[in-house]
Structure 1
Amino acid sequence: MLQKFKQDLKNDLIAGLLVIIPLATTIWLTITVANWVIRFLTRFPKQLNPFTGLHPILIDMINLLVGLAVPMLAILLIGLMARNIVGRWLLDLGERILQSIPLAGSVYKTLQQLLQTLFQDSKTRFRRVVLVEYPRRGLWAIAFVTGAITAGTTGMPQMLSIFVPTTPNPTSGWYAVVPEEDVINLSISIEDAFKVLLSGGIVGPDLAASIPSERLMRATQESMATPMMPLNQPMTERGRQSLSMLQVEDD
């Protein structure tokens, strides 16, 4: 009971930090931009300065509104540029210049890929969350089912196309084709699976409650009883024929 309480407290702390850090950064940026705009406007002569003689509370309210409006207008302007040819060319030029910087380029590219993955509709790309034995027998990794592959002849097992993401950057990973009977379905959503991956298992649902224990135990026992194939063993003729009879199903 005490251990569970500590784990729940740790999860709540991490989840709170994940919310507070972006929020605090946004507030700090808003205040910084607002103060800069106000300082710029107050440099005008008193005859032309509209803020002269205003109540301090009113000035603070204007400061807040300007701090919210300026970043929003900047985001809208960048979005407008990205939707036309000239603006897109300027943004591409800026991205190429930024990516040419050794350290900043790598950070920018990683954040860009991560945000694209988070803001895109995951439901159109990933169908369900499964567990697959990877990178070796006895170790299980979270994977997403991306499609189904049908066999060209009867008697062959149903195959699945899966994507095994990495942690904490789920924008990279490995694609694999596995038999459907070799995966274990998880009763969690795509969003919850991303929480687990992004936090390295610290934040997210209780995976133990979503895994059928008898199914996992049986699969683990079967994998331990099966001798492991050497990595340098060539593919057999039967394996090549089975692979050639698979055709990707158009969804």
Structure 2
Amino acid sequence: MSVVGALDGVFAWLVVAAQTVLPESLRPALQQLREIPGLSVIIVVAALLLTGMAVSNMAGQWLVDQSNRLFSNIPIVKSIYSSVKQVSDTLFSSSGQAFREAVLVQYPRAGSWTIAFVTGRPSGEVADKLPDDMLTLYVPTTPNPTSGFMLLVPRTDVRELGMSVDEALKYIISMGVVAPPATPARPASPTAASTSAPTRQS
């Protein structure tokens, strides 16, 4: 219910902002909308459905392409937008392999745990400077998983999770509200097996 409360709070703030710019005759109606519990959730769901319907046809795709071109030509904004878009396209592509598995790791201090994603193993010069059996992890922030931290940690410091990558992302985005059902930890993944003997440069 905390997510619903947060959405209601944002919706209430938007109503208050709208009341300051709209004619006074419309303010009572806006106030009535503000007092309807759960209306913010309905609006968010409707907006998502309409957005999905819009981008699924040619006209909607054209608008998306034009907005991408617009943001890509604005100084300063284009560097931030292109970086975020590249990261999100890579991480959340349905055919992407950026995230191999979800794990638990102690971060930002010992005794404090967070969900991370295995992205591979260190390679090149970085691998030469580190002990064997190290993993590269991505620790996303919440509720926006497109930003986060990269960690290089020993395999022994990681606890595997039975949940899928999609379930872990939902858990992170919902700030822990949408918890996946308890499942036993998966056996050692092909990623771990294939990376158990890293190649070092001489």
**TM-score, normalization: structure 1?**
0.45
* Deviation of 1:110 (Å): 9.9
Contact 1:99 1:109 in 2 (8 A): no
Query: 1:177-196 maps to which residues of 2 (within 5 A)?
Result: 177-196=152-171
Contact 2:102 2:116 in 1 (8 A): yes
Q: Does 1:158 align with 2:125?
A: no
| TM-superposition CA deviations, 1:100-122 (whole Å, max 9, x none) | 68xxx9x9789857864674137
| CA distance in structure 1 between the aligned counterparts of 2:180 and 2:63, rounded to whole angstroms | 37
2:98 to 125, 131, 149: 125
* Secondary structure class of the residue paired with 1:24: helix
Q: Given residue 25 of structure 1, which amino acid in structure 2 is its aligned partner?
A: A
The alignment of Structure 1 onto Structure 2 pairs a total of residues equal to: 152
Q: Does 1:95 align with 2:97?
A: no
Contact 1:148 1:248 in 2 (8 A): no
Q: Given residue 127 of structure 1, which amino acid in structure 2 is its aligned partner?
A: R
1:204 to 179, 188, 192: 179
* Secondary structure class of the residue paired with 2:137: strand
* Secondary structure class of the residue paired with 1:124: coil
Fraction of identical pairs, as percent:
38
Unaligned ranges ≥5, structure 1: 1-9, 31-67, 213-245
* Secondary structure class of the residue paired with 2:57: helix
Contact 1:157 1:180 in 2 (8 A): no
Query: 1:43-192 maps to which residues of 2 (within 5 A)?
Result: 72-78=57-63, 82=65, 91-92=68-69, 94-96=70-72, 116=89, 119-121=92-94, 124-149=97-122, 156-192=131-167
**TM-score, normalization: structure 2?**
0.54
* Deviation of 1:75 (Å): 1.7
| CA distance in structure 1 between the aligned counterparts of 2:43 and 2:81, rounded to whole angstroms | 19
Query: Judging changes above 3 Å, is the alpha-carbon distance between structure 1 residues 173 and 12 closer, same or farther for their aligned structure 2 residues?
Result: closer
Query: 1:209-220 maps to which residues of 2 (within 5 A)?
Result: 209-210=182-183
Query: Judging changes above 3 Å, is the alpha-carbon distance between structure 1 residues 192 and 177 closer, same or farther for their aligned structure 2 residues?
Result: same
* Deviation of 1:198 (Å): 0.6
Q: Given residue 95 of structure 1, which amino acid in structure 2 is its aligned partner?
A: F
> Which deviates the most, 133-142 or 18-27?
18-27
| CA distance in structure 2 between the aligned counterparts of 1:187 and 1:148, rounded to whole angstroms | 20
Contact 2:143 2:173 in 1 (8 A): yes
Q: Does 1:24 align with 2:46?
A: yes
* Secondary structure class of the residue paired with 2:47: helix
| CA distance in structure 1 between the aligned counterparts of 2:91 and 2:42, rounded to whole angstroms | 18
Unaligned ranges ≥5, structure 2: 6-37, 186-197
